[in-house]
Each structure stands twice: as C-alpha cells, then as structure tokens.
Amino acid sequence: MIYFGCDYYPEQWSQWLEEGEARWAEDARLMAAAGFNVVRLAEFAWGLLEPAPDQFDFAWLERAVDLLHDHGLQVVLATPTPTPPPWLLDAHPDITQVTADGRRLGPGTRREACANHPVYRERSRIISQALAAHFATRPGVIGWQTDNEFGCHDTGRCYCEHCQAGFRTWLAERYGDLDALNEAWGGAFWGETYRTWLQIPLPTHSAAQRSPSHLLDFYRFSSDSWRDFHAMEIDILRRTCPDHFVTHNLMGFFPQLNYYDLAAELDFVSWDNYHYHGATPAGVAAAHDHMWGVKERNFWVMEQQVGQVNWSAYNPVPPPDFVRLKSYQAIGHGADGVVYFRWRQALGGSEQYHSGLLNQAGRETMGYREACSIGQELARLASVLEGTEPRAQVAILLDYDSRWALQLQPHNSRLRHDPPADYSLENPALEVDRDAFHEPRYLTGRAYLAWPFSAAYTAFWERNVPVAVVAPESDLSRYKLVCAPFLNLLRPAVVENLKRYVAGGGTLVLGPRTGFKDESNRLFASPQPGPLAELAGVTVRFFDSLEPERINVLRWEQIHGARRTEIGLWAEVLDPVGAEVIATYTQDWYAGEAAITARRHEGGGHALYVGAMGGPTLYANLFDWLLRDLDVHPLIPSMPGVEVCARYGEDGRRVIFLLNHTGQVQRFTLARPVQELLSGEEFSTFVRLRPGQVAIFEDGSQFGQAL
C-alpha cells in the first residue's frame, strides 16, 4: 500500500485554540476525508511528554493516537530527542553545542544538543525507552521515526569538551597507536607530530589551514557520533517495539553526515522533500534516487512541502498542481509513503510563515484540495503499485569521504559547498538543468549541495533513463554503466570494487579529480588517478583551476555530431597510456591536449576518464554515444521538461509516470490507445499534457514519440 498522510501537532492546537482538544476531532475528520491513512506525531514534544525529570505525561498523546485511530488513521510516533526540554538545558547548560570559533549555541530552540554529552545521551535514552514501552502495544501505532533531521541547522559537528574527549578516543580506536596516526596525517609537515593522545586538538578555527587529514577524520568522527546516538535509539525501539518499523527523516543531499552509515540499521529511510530556492525538477529527482540508493530499497517522504516554506532565500507561492507533481514524482521514484508537512500553519513559533494543508485560520488551502484528489486516486492505484519499485541500468556513485575532501579543499572558490543563499554564477560547469526552451539554469542556493552529481544526473534525466545513486562499495554488477563524477578519495575496497566491475564487462565513467587522494586524505605518491590509472589507461599530467571568465571548448574526436561543449572551473590535461582520446581542448595553451579518454578491457569492459568539468551537455554527448552500444534505452523519447519514471513488479508489471514540469502544453503519440490510471480516461494515440499534469499508465509498451 501507499501510506498517505500528514505531520500533525495536536499539542500545539490544544494550547492555541479556545476550543482546545475539541479541535482534534474536526482535524481527524478532515484528514480521513482527504483519504489519509497515516499521521506522524510528537517529534518535538519532549518538554510536554516529560515536563519534569522522570515525570511522564503520555495521556494527551494517548488521546490523540486513539482519536486518530478511531478515524481510520495509523500513527508513526517519533522519539522527541531533537528538542531537549527547558529543565534539562537549565540543569546542564553545557549540553548545547560549541561552534568551530568557540561560540556556545543558545538553548530554547531545536537541534542545539551535542551527541556526545553524557547527560543528553542518558536523558534521551530514558525518554525514548519510556515512550516506546508505553506505546509498544497501543492500537494504531505502526512505526517510529527516530529523532528528526540529524544535523539540521548546521549541527552535524560540535567542538565542545565532550567531543574533544570523544575524538581522541575515536582516533585511538581507529589507529591503534600514535605512529600510525602521525603517518596517516603526514605529521612531519609543520612538525605536527603528536606524542600523546591528549595533545591532539579539535580542528577549531585557526590562523592557518588545518591538516586535511585531521579535518577529514574529525568529519568522520562527527558523523559517527550521530550514528552511535542513532544506534542507541534504534536498539531501544527494536527491543521494545519489535512489531513496529523504524525509520528516520533524512535531508536529501545534506553533506555533514554519512547517510549510508546513519541508515544502516533502519527498515527503510524517509526524507524531507522541500522545493527550496534553486531546486529544479531534476535536482529533486536526484535526491529521490539518492534516498532510494541509501539502502537500495523503497522509501518514504516524511515531510512533503504543500505550500510556501519559511527558510529559503526566496519563498514564492507554488503554482496549482505543485502538490500533485511533487507527490507523484516521489511515488514514481520509489516512495511508498508521502506525508505532508504540515497539517495547519502554526500560530506561534519560528515556523509561522511555513504553509500547511490548512492555513492559520483553519481554512482549506489549494494544497489540501489537491491532497483530497490524490487520496482518491491512490486508493485506486494501490493494487497497481503494490510490490513495485524503481529499476535502473545505470548508477551514479556518491561517496561521503570524497564529498568532504572536496569541501575541505575545493581549490576553486566557485566550488565552495556553502555559498550565499542567493548566489548564482552562469558558467557551463555549474549548469544543472534546462527549461522547456533549452535555456540553461545554473546553481543557486541549496542546489549547491548536489553540484558534484548534477551534470551527469541531469543528462540521464533529460533522456528518461532511470538512475540509481548508490555507494561506491555497492554491488555494481546489476548496472550496465556506472558514473563516478567526483571520486576524489579512493579507499582500497572501492578500488577493488571498480576493477571487479570493469573486469565483469561494466562501463565505468570517472570524472575530474578522481583518485587524487588516499583514504587518509593524503595525495597518492603516483600520478592521478592513483590506483585507478591502469584501469583507466591514463594519467593526469596537470590540472588547471579556471577563473569564472575562462571558458574552454572541447573537440570530440570520436563522437560525430556531438553538440558544442563548453567547460569551465576545472580542466585536467591527460596522458593516455593504452586509452584512446575521446575529446581534446581547443583553447588556451594546452589546446589539442586530451580531455576525455576511454580504455577497452578484455571481457567487454570500458573505463572512461573525464578530465573536464562541464554541464549536462558534456555528459549528454558522452551518454548518447555510450548508451546505444550498451543497449540502454529511454523509457520513452525525451520531451523537454517532462519527467518520465517507472516502477516495476516481479510479475513483469511496469507502471510509467509522466510529469509535466513546464508551463506549456506537451504533446506526444502512443502506439495504441490506453487507459490513464488517475482519471480512468481512455487515451487515444494522441496525448496532450497540460502544464503541471500527471499521467500514469500500466505496462508502458504502448509509448510512441514526442511531437
């Protein structure tokens, strides 16, 4: 089944409205009328559930759960640990995090607590255990969300005294002795050779740059700290509520935590899908595919935007059919649950400008009316979607160690991962999407979180070729083509996995900056791409970090009819060693030098190396050349701005989703008439998609071409 519902805060409305809890029944009635079957509760309610130490008040939450259950709504409860209560912060003010510049965060909000503070951990254990035990057998409760958005608000890393002690312990366990640590960190540089573990500082703000090895290990430690905190809560829920599922709401391409590690023990991941300033349909699709790829299984959207948000650089009101598009886009990419945030716009607190399905006056919004329509449709689609999931023949590798290494040393200010929210730069290397008229759009705001993957992903997305975004240690044998756009740091296990993949006949596309560093974040003492040089049949002679105004153009030596391809910001000059040259530079003093190469291997495998940073056009030329030979075909022919995705069943079923993200009517033909599943309408061979329209068909063999 598809779980469909909303995030609800009954504790707030019983306080804010004169009618108090009496309002809950009307809310539940409206939820049921919309076709909802699930509601999330209580992720921020610690201070109400435990108003004083060890004095628990679960009665109000019981009443809310029971009322919702009486209206046919199942409940996902959350451990309320992202909001430590005032009494805890008052008694232990050092629970709050310390920033890299030594500033302690103030209390009275959310996510201010340090994962390594022993009292915070203990009190989190106590409230989680008490809540789980109380609701373990409560009718209507089907699962748990742990905490809420670990790391949100830049809280993935803390620099307090508890983290100092924890970091030293973590290092001792990782390296065993100081000689190994000093070697891994290159301690001879600037005389940073440590003689005791107590000498090792946290990498706080400093006069000069820190050792990148020191910094990378701190990033790993910080991620592991939240992983360990998370494991504590998961263990409690597993032992106490064995019949309930456990999930956590991730945040797409959020960079501070290793989601593969964080989600390892979950039943499935959820994520919070907001179309922030700078987001594009392709960018949101990429985040869905990454969330699927974290565990390589279907997921939930635990917070789906229904209107304006309150935190982006600009917050325009979404157009009609926005909720429909976003809901079905999620389902098409593998979401088995769509939960809207939030039920009603808040009267108080910091999220007053964040829209809800009802506005602040309790009136139905456009989002609620669209949700009602979706609820009716999902009831009809349930049997069609049951047991289906996305399938892909191509994959993009996302590696957190490499992301962190590039963030620490971007070597080009335009490649920073934290630009101003309204930042924009028109450069072909930062092109991420095109509109219906093929005008390029560039990175802005939070879209920067995905910049290493955007160009390659968009090229697949525009071709209606499904993609899985997975870890580099994953089983890659199921994919005909694997793209690693920025695998800057190479661990031995990853090297062996990639070699095994190519030896088995796979086609591997490596991107710029690949294999420059080892797992300790040191440079390899061999030419880039280090241990992958023989596999790729190429070495990097040198790289050029280009100023924004410097643009180069590639000449395609092996791909006839390729579109003009501009590159910028990063260019590597390649020396083939057994590889053929696919493209060369045409400008600057290294004109004529190799920019892209390919090496054929026995057994049919290929390894390509892309030394230039470019937008979707670069990868489009490359993929158009490769996919034909690999027998990888689009779901249907491409239509500008119309997304196509699919879910497959073990019984051979295929469900095709068409989503018109443009403001124009799109037309295409079918091989034969077919029934559209949402409307029940019989479509002739001519199909017309209005702006924002969604169409869903079963099987998909009837598709023809765009007009």
Q: Using one digit for the tens of pLDDT, what is the confidence trace for 379-391?
A: 999 999 999 999 9
- C-alpha to C-alpha distance for 284 and 328, rounded to whole angstroms: 12
Task: Please indicate whether residue 566 is annotated as part of the active site.
Answer: no
Is the Cβ–Cβ distance between 10 and 344 less than 8 Å? no
From 11, 43, 112, 149, the catalytic residue: 149
From the centroid of its chain, how far is CA 165? 31
Among residues 285, 374, 383, 567, which one has the least CA distance to residue 1? 383
The percent of residues in the chain predicted with pLDDT above 90, rounded, is: 84
Domains detected in the chain = 3-157+226-386 (3.20.20.80), 394-629 (3.40.50.880), 642-706 (2.60.40.1180)
Neighbours of 571 (CB within 10 A): 26
Is the Cβ–Cβ distance between 100 and 169 less than 8 Å? no
**pLDDT for residue 672:** 81
Is the Cβ–Cβ distance between 485 and 472 less than 8 Å? no
Task: Please indicate whether residue 149 is annotated as part of the active site.
Answer: yes
* Cα distances (Å, whole numbers) of residue 194 to 46, 76, 241, 290, 623: 43, 49, 46, 39, 49
Neighbours of 438 (CB within 10 A): 9
**pLDDT for residue 504:** 97
- C-alpha to C-alpha distance for 565 and 615, rounded to whole angstroms: 8
**pLDDT for residue 496:** 98
**pLDDT for residue 434:** 67
Task: Spell out, as residue ranges, where the chain has pLDDT lower than 50.
Answer: 707
Interior/surface letters 201-226, b for 16+ CB within 10 angstroms, e for the rest: bbbeeeeeebbbbbbbbbbbbbbbbb
**pLDDT for residue 76:** 98
Residues shown for the chain: 707
- C-alpha to C-alpha distance for 15 and 21, rounded to whole angstroms: 8
**pLDDT for residue 707:** 42
Q: Using one digit for the tens of pLDDT, what is the confidence trace for 134-184?
A: 999 999 999 999 999 999 999 999 999 999 999 999 999 999 999 999 999
252: left (phi over 0), alpha (psi -120 to 50) or beta: left
**pLDDT for residue 278:** 82
**pLDDT for residue 133:** 98
Place of tokens 């919004």: 365
From 43, 303, 572, 698, the catalytic residue: 303
**pLDDT for residue 702:** 57
**pLDDT for residue 367:** 96
